[in-house]
Every structure is written in C-alpha cells, then in structure tokens.
Chains A and B, each alone.
Chain A
C-alpha cells in the first residue's frame, strides 16, 4: 500500500464516522430526506464561495455552503408552516430549485470557474491526496484530511457534550422542552452539524455519497438494535467497514471510489435487511408463518372442544371441515401432538387434559383480552409474545 492509498482510506473512514453520527439522529428524527436536500442545495453556496475565494477548501466556502444548508432547512420549514403544501413536497420543491440556481451560476461563468457540477455531486476521492496542506514548506498531509478531521473532532465534542440533550429531544421532544432544553436550538444545531459535515465531505466523496454515508449505516444499525449508544457504534463500524472495503472494490474494478463505497453500504444493508435476527425480512416472514400456524392450531383445538360427536373429530373430516390443505393439517396436527394437546384413538382425535386446559385458557383470553390469563402460556407459544 502506498501512502496515497492509506490516506484515501483514512479520509474515507473519517468521512464515514463524521457522517454516521449526525446520520443516526437524522434517521431517528425521521428527517433523513433533509440530508438529501442539504447535500443538493449547498451547491449555490459552494459556487458563491468559490467565486469569492477561488479555493474549494477554504473555510469561508465551507461556512457559506453550510449557511445555504441552513437556509434550505429554514425555507422548508417556512413553506411547511404556511400549510400550503406538506413537508415532503416542501423539501422536494426547495432543493431542486436551489440546485438549479447553482448549476446556472456555474454555467454562466463556465469560462472563469474551474468547478464542475459532476465533481460536486460525485466527488473524486482518488484526487484527494494530491491537494496537500503545506505550511511554511512542510507537507502536513492532504487538505481534505485536515478539514474532515476537524469537523469530526467538533462533531465528537458536541456529541459527548450534548448526548443527553440530543437523546431526550430525539425521543421525547415534549419532555426535553419541559426540562428546559430548547428543541429549536438542538434541532438547528443538528442541522448545522449536518450541513457542515456535508460540505466538508462533498469534495472528497461527493454530495450523493454523503447522503448514503449518513442514512445507510444508521438505517442498517437501526435494524439490529434499539439502543442509541449501540446504534451509534454499529453505524460507525458499518460506515468505516464500507469505506475501506469499498476502496478495495474500486481498486479492483478500477471504478469510482464513491460509487463502490455506496455499493458496499447497499450490500451491507441488503444483508442485514434480509438476515437481521428479529427485524430482518426472513425473521419477520418466519414469525408471520409461525403465527399463522399457531392461529390454525388454536382454531383446531377450539373445533375439537366444541364437538363431541365422533364424526366431527375424524381425521379425514377435519381436512374437509376446517378447509385446510393436507400439508397444513399435518403441520397443525404434529404441533398439537408434540405439545401433548391431543391424542389419537383409531383416527378419532380428542383433546388431552392439557389440551382442554389450554383451550379454555385461550378462550378466556380471547373473551377478556387480559394478559394475565396467558402469562404462563407465553413460554409454549410464539403467538402471544408479540
């Protein structure tokens, strides 16, 4: 590995961490799309800043662009407050218009601006190590590394200082307000941090990847845990993992680094989405299937309890009567047998004592809908756990 490669991976990882922290809160506060809006609408800020400073890495440019980000948020909230359109429409209107203004500003000054819309949207991490910070002749490393490093340190500092406030205002804005933390300050603080992170990261990784790095790790982590601290840690780990593995994918395919980091994030999300222990699709489908069987079992037991005639309890008749397919009936019968709920007597099914008990308890529960009735049944059955 050359030093440029190490630097690229370092920048990518720092960006991933710096994005994952505000991203987690954005996802929890249901404001994920705001990050998309900010990432597009900072363009006019960047262009104006660039006209003034002629330097893509100047702090003034970052401040101006972050300011445009805040203006976006304020505009969206203002439009929403007028009640003329819903919040999502307001977001969808504001950022393309601001973005268009940026594109037109670049186009009108195309001759004297070395700024490309593609570069802003997509970024090129591979070039990051070439733009170096040199102070009095000493090479201190790539400029983007310093920028994103300082943003990360500020973000971390704010996170540790205001963790409690952030947590409370995220989950219970009313409580936060009554405890004396101003939700507005925390809201705009978070928006400012998101804007600055977006701006700081865009020229290394591009505006779209910033969105991916904010939302995807947090969303993936949210499928695995319900605890804020753990979610933050998972999100950071996923971000860093994708950043580094994405770099090597890009190296191997000779393609855009930003694109491959996003692709890694996508694969990671897909894997968790499918296989997460309790919230993944497969787990959810399995649980739903299980619940269907259990409901069937209950129906079956109730049927047995209601009918004393032998004709009604013959195995073949059950097939027709409850209108189940062969396989389903067999599953239900097996489950009932395994739990000692029923017994066979020459193809006549009858309830055991335990089955009788269970059924009457279940009826009690269905009638009264009181949880106390089924407390001890929960161990046997999935059905009552949810």
Chain B
C-alpha cells in the first residue's frame, strides 16, 4: 500500500512540476533505474502484448466490439467485489470484474441466440446497462461511511501510475498462461476461427474451445482495466490486431505482430506521457496504438491505401498506352508493311492518346517517331498483337 502511495507521488511530481518533467532520452535511461517508471513501462508493455495477442482473435472472429462491452460490463463486478470484501486489493476486484464480464458476455450470447435482437443491439444493451448499474453501485459506495472507498474510480479511466510490482507479476503470470493455452490449443483455435462447421464435423468440442478463447479475451480486458480504464480498453484490444492484420495473411504472424505492436504502444505511450505534463497514460497509449493502425493502413505493401493507389494509377497509365498501341495495331494491320508511317493526327484522345503515352511507346521502342508521322516497330507489332491475349493469360 505504501509503495503505491509513494510511486503515485513520484509520478505526480514528475508530471506536475515543469522543472522535473523529463525528456524522452532521459526517460529511457531512467527506465532501468527508476522503480516506478520501470514498473509502469513493464506493466503497459506486457498488457499491450497480451491484449494484442488475444485481440487478434477478437478481430478475426468479428467480435471487435465485444471488448468494449466486456470492459463496461466489468464495472459492477468491481463495485460488488468491493462491497462484499471491503478491501481494495486489486486482485479481488479484478476477480469480481472477471465474473461480471463473463456474465455480460454470456448474456450477450443468450440474447443473440435466443431472441431476434441482433448482435449490435445486444452489445450496446449489456454495455450500457451493466455500466449504469456499476455507476449506481459506485455512487452508492461513495455515500457509505467508509473511508476506504476512494480510488475505485481509477477503473473508469485507468491510472497506470498506480501499478505496483505485484500487479505486473499478475499480468506476467496471466500472459504466460495465455501463451501456454494458446500454443496448446493453437490448432483448435485456428480451425474454429476459419471454419466453425468443419471443426464440428471433425469432432472437436467447439463449445469448449469457444468458451475458452472468450474467457481469455475477457481475462485480458479485465487485466487492462486498472491501467487504461473501461472506456479505452476496446482500443487496446483492437488497434494492435487491426494494425497487424494489414501486414500478413498468416494467423501466427498476425498474433506475433499484434503482440509486438501492443507492447510498443505500451512503452511509447508510457514514455510520452511521462515526458509531458498532465498527460494520463491510458489515452496516450491508445493514440500511439492508433498511429500504428494509421501507418499500417497507409503503408502496408499488399493492403495499404498508398500502394493500392499507386497500383491503381499505374494500371490506369498502362491501360492508356495499351489502348493507343492497340489502335495503332488496328491501323497497321491493314497495311502490308507494318512499319508504314501514319500521321499523328489520326490518333485521338479517346483512344488514350496523349503526348505522354506516345513518348512512353517510343521509349519502350514499340513505335518510331519521324516528325509528325509514327510507325510501329517489329517489336511493337508483336506486343500489340498479343496485348489482350497476354492480359487474359495473366488474369487466369
């Protein structure tokens, strides 16, 4: 308890007083010496890794918003755990959060499978109802004549500064467990992810695998509540996975990449928030993760928007000179001598002709220019006659 208070004070000092604000290089040297910074950095890094890992499954299972719903649904559990035990031991509170998150998850499933309400309605319903109930309990607790209740609201927005070493150990243990289970059931998780019906016909207990993976997703979310809070937890789950998805089509690589992205978001987020005044860690981590997503969306070689646009423009240009060449070919075909010169004037814009495309054709040595006259070369004629055949070959 004392350690927590002290660590909180240190962060307060580094954060509040401009004189003590550290810059980034100083931060990285401090990480290895300063207890508080080391704990927080390790904590957020581990958290990012485990949420990234399990988030990959959430994203691929199209359960992205489940994370948001679960993190909100965990709130009444925290309040009830506190009401029952009267203690603020974070492990007990997280157990409460886990139970209430699981209840929320399975209620969502019950609503989707037993009634005609759709998944978005079920998610929004459980999210807001559980959260509201949690708020009722929290405000109820605050009015109780018990001095010990302060600090429960850190679960709303999260306070990485309150992480202590035991919390980090807890996270590390859960991450180890996740990793172990993930490797143990890798084949089952993978096959359930991509073909649930086939999995069933193979004789796997799909219900068990499903519940297992969902439970671990809930566990990861609950772990993160203390650090980034209820509201931002869903981004921790989704952002690394969504970023990783852009770089690969293989599940293993994606899970690995998501863990790396998550861990780096945690470290960078902590670093940035420690080096500035008045910056809470949770939102900064989320924004760093958001930057990862943005960069991946734009710069990923195969799926990214930038390369997609470049390919698109290149294809359009190619199409233009293809069209011009084909037009020339149609004219040249009617002459015995394929290199018979023709006036440039007969080429028109409608056929994709511009000075640029003509230059390109000359550069490729398909066309000879002579004043205002053009003529196909041997090579150009060859290419043009196979132009569309080759294309259809390529497409096949």
Chain A residues in the interface with B (C-beta under 8 A): 27, 30-33, 35-36, 40, 79, 82, 84-86, 88-89, 91-93, 96-97, 99-101, 103-104, 107-108, 110, 117-118, 121-122, 208-209, 211-212, 214-216, 218-219, 222-223, 250, 253-256, 258-263, 265-266, 269, 273, 279, 281, 284
Chain A residues in 8 Å Cβ range of B372: none
Chain B's nearest CB lies how many Å from the CB of A246?
A: 9
**A96-B234 contact given A33-B123, A84-B297, A104-B287, CB 8 Å threshold:** yes
In the complex, the answer to whether A92 meets B64 with C-beta atoms within 8 Å is yes
Chain B residues in 8 Å Cβ range of A222: 116-117, 121
Q: Which partner residue on chain B sits nearest A213 by CB separation?
A: B128
Chain A residues in 8 Å Cβ range of B238: 89, 92-93
Chain A's nearest CB lies how many Å from the CB of B296?
A: 8
**A260-B136 contact given A100-B284, A209-B128, A284-B114, CB 8 Å threshold:** yes
What is the CA–CA distance of A256 and B142 in the complex, to the nearest angstrom?
10
B131 interface residue per 8 A CB criterion = yes
**A255-B139 contact given A30-B118, A99-B232, A269-B125, CB 8 Å threshold:** yes
Chain A's nearest CB lies how many Å from the CB of B286?
A: 4
B198 interface residue per 8 A CB criterion = no
Chain A residues in 8 Å Cβ range of B95: none
**A259-B111 contact given A85-B242, A88-B64, A211-B128, CB 8 Å threshold:** no
List residues 216-273 of chain B with CB under 8 A from any CB of chain A.
231-232, 234-235, 237-239, 242, 245-246
Across the A-B interface, how many residue pairs have beta carbons closer than 8 Å? 195
What is the CA–CA distance of A80 and B262 in the complex, to the nearest angstrom?
22
A35, A93, A96, A260: which contacts B231 (Cβ < 8 A)? A96
Q: List 18 A-B contacts (CB under 8 A).
A: A27-B117, A33-B123, A84-B303, A88-B64, A93-B242, A100-B232, A100-B286, A103-B280, A104-B284, A107-B279, A118-B156, A209-B128, A215-B121, A216-B129, A219-B122, A222-B116, A259-B139, A262-B133
Chain A residues in 8 Å Cβ range of B128: 36, 208-209, 211-212, 215-216, 262
**A86-B62 contact given A108-B279, A215-B124, CB 8 Å threshold:** yes
Chain A's nearest CB lies how many Å from the CB of B46?
A: 20
Chain B residues in the interface with A (C-beta under 8 A): 59, 62-65, 67-68, 72, 110-111, 114-118, 120-125, 127-140, 143, 153, 156-157, 231-232, 234-235, 237-239, 242, 245-246, 277-280, 282-284, 286-287, 290, 293, 297, 303, 305
What is the CA–CA distance of A110 and B278 in the complex, to the nearest angstrom?
8
In the complex, the answer to whether B235 meets A97 with C-beta atoms within 8 Å is yes
- A-B contact sample (14 more), CB < 8 A, given A100-B287, A208-B131, A256-B139: A32-B120, A32-B121, A32-B123, A33-B120, A92-B68, A92-B235, A96-B234, A104-B280, A209-B128, A211-B124, A219-B121, A256-B135, A259-B136, A262-B128
Chain B's nearest CB lies how many Å from the CB of A215?
A: 4
In the complex, the answer to whether B129 meets A265 with C-beta atoms within 8 Å is yes
Chain B's nearest CB lies how many Å from the CB of A280?
A: 8
Chain A's nearest CB lies how many Å from the CB of B217?
A: 13
In the complex, the answer to whether A82 meets B305 with C-beta atoms within 8 Å is yes
What is the CA–CA distance of A262 and B277 in the complex, to the nearest angstrom?
36
Chain B residues in 8 Å Cβ range of A258: 132, 135
What is the CA–CA distance of A346 and B234 in the complex, to the nearest angstrom?
68
Q: Which partner residue on chain B sits nearest A250 by CB separation?
A: B136
**Residue of B64, B116, B117, B132 with most chain A CB atoms under a 10 A cut-off:** B132
In the complex, the answer to whether B287 meets A101 with C-beta atoms within 8 Å is yes
Chain A's nearest CB lies how many Å from the CB of B1?
A: 25
In the complex, the answer to whether B235 meets A96 with C-beta atoms within 8 Å is yes
What is the CA–CA distance of A85 and B116 in the complex, to the nearest angstrom?
26
**Residue of A30, A255, A265 with most chain B CB atoms under a 10 A cut-off:** A255
Q: Which partner residue on chain B sits nearest A226 by CB separation?
A: B116
Chain A residues in 8 Å Cβ range of B286: 96-97, 100
